Structures are given as C-alpha cells and as structure tokens.
A and B are shown apart, each in its own frame.
Chain A
C-alpha cells in the first residue's frame, strides 16, 4: 500500500465523529461530583492533649516557667538575707548622712561571722 493511501486512512480515522459516549460522560461526571474538593470546609479539629503533671500545673498556675524561676530566686535570696542578718538600716542611713565613713559600713557580714553564729 502506498504511503498516501495509508495517510488517507489515518485522515478518515481522525475525521470520524466521536462515538456516542453520553452514558460514559454521565458516569465520569458523577465521579467528579463525588470527589469534588471542598476547599472551604473548616479544617478537622485536632484534639489537644493538655499536660497534667505536677510541674505543669504549678507552672501554669504562676504564669509560666520564667515567672517560676524568678519566684524561686527571690525565695532563695530572702532566705539568705534572713539567715545572714545584714547590717541594720540605721547604719546604712548613718553612712548616707556621712556619720560613718562608707568604707566602714558592712552591709553583708563576712563568711567568718556566719560560721561563728553557727
């Protein structure tokens, strides 16, 4: 068969009207509707697991880990002041009023005083 004859047959095939595919198209469209994406649907809620341990409850109560650390530090400093008995305020005011030279004021006693007092 000549090349041109074969090309004629191909051209005839290309020109064939599309065969009736209405029922198929109906099935395809039904599939499309069934799988139609719903981009506006609200996202599925994720269950949030809350921590319920002792430290988690304490931390949440005081307002966070930073606040808890600050409270702990303040408590330690308070304990230290109470134990070491810093110099009385009168000495401080006297030093401010220049009754006592500043370099003689001992706001915090040395380690020797703590050791002697037990």
Chain B
C-alpha cells in the first residue's frame, strides 16, 4: 500500500497490515517511531551507537510480535517505549557491572555547525542538558526524558516504566530539581544571565 494512504492510519491498524503481509505498515511505523525511539534511547544511554542498537532491537521485537498482537491491550507507542526502556536499563546495568561510565563523554545531539550566536547558544544548551541528563540516576533520566522531551503523560510513563503514577511524579520532580541544580552554575554560558 502507498505510504501517502497510510498517513492517517493508526499504529495498531498499521501493525495489523504488517501482520497480514503488507510491508507498507512496517514502513510507516518505521518512519513514525525509529527517529523518536533513537532519540530517546540515545539520550538515556548517552551513546548514539547504543541508541541505534536499542531502536533496531525494539523494532525487531515489534515485527516479531505483530502476528500475535492483541488489539486493545496496549498501544504500539507505549509498548515500543517500554521495550526500549527495558533494553536501555539492561545496557545501563551491564555498563555498571563493567564499571564503565560515560558521564564525561556526553553526546553532542545537535550535529549541526553553529552559524550564529543563537545557534551556538542552542548547541551549548543541548550539550549541557545531555551532560546533566547523563549524571542523573537511570530511572530519573528515563522519566525526565519521557516527560519533558518525548512529551508523554504521567500515566503513559507509568505504563512504559511499569510503575505507579506517584512514582513517576516523584522521579520526574527529583530529576528536574537535580537538572536545575546542575545547570544553575552555567546560566551565563547558556544565555540566561540576568542583565542589571
């Protein structure tokens, strides 16, 4: 089926299409979710290559589960982020076991050449944000990214992380406070210095 015809089709219907042997459903789901899941996993892991591995593995699991997908039980988006979160958590635990931390090697998410002061400041802000995110505890980082960057609601985050809504609120609030504390010393660098 042509991609244009699938623009308004729901995720669940696309998955059914794929399960019925139509690769067009997979193409549209890939376009919708690979960049998002990649961005999320990269932010949580602080590593682009690992983020790509997680995104590919999460999508692969979606293809495998498609023929047995039970409609109405879960949303494709929530399911995908849940799988990605679990994969990220596994990798973070492995990393801890290996005593390998990437806290000092924050990724540069904005891969563009700064051409003006505003662009420079924006790039600095993203770099500072990613550095601060990397310093957060794993669960706080996942919750903050889902809430404030991916735009999930608290109930969606609860479903993704398999925790209660109160726990989500606690994680996001503590994470946000920690981020604010870490970034407060760099207000001038980030263009927030008050004049006067």
Please report A residues at the B interface, Cβ cutoff 8 Å.
Answer: 1-3, 5-6, 8-10, 12-14, 16, 18-21, 24-25, 27-29, 31-33, 35-40
Contact = CB atoms under 8 A, between A and B. Distances in A.
Nearest to B59: A28
Given A10-B129, A10-B148, A19-B111, 5 more contacts: A5-B190, A12-B125, A24-B55, A36-B21, A37-B21
Q: Is the interface of A mostly helix, strand, loop or mixed?
A: helix
A3 B173 CA distance: 12
Contacts of A9: 125-126, 128-129, 183, 190
B36 A18 contact: yes
Contacts of B170: none
A5 B35 CA distance: 26
Interface in B128-176: 128-129, 148-149, 151, 176
Contact of B129 (A13, A19, A38): A13
Contact of B20 (A6, A29, A37): A37
B18 A32 contact: yes
B13 interface: no
B56 A16 contact: no
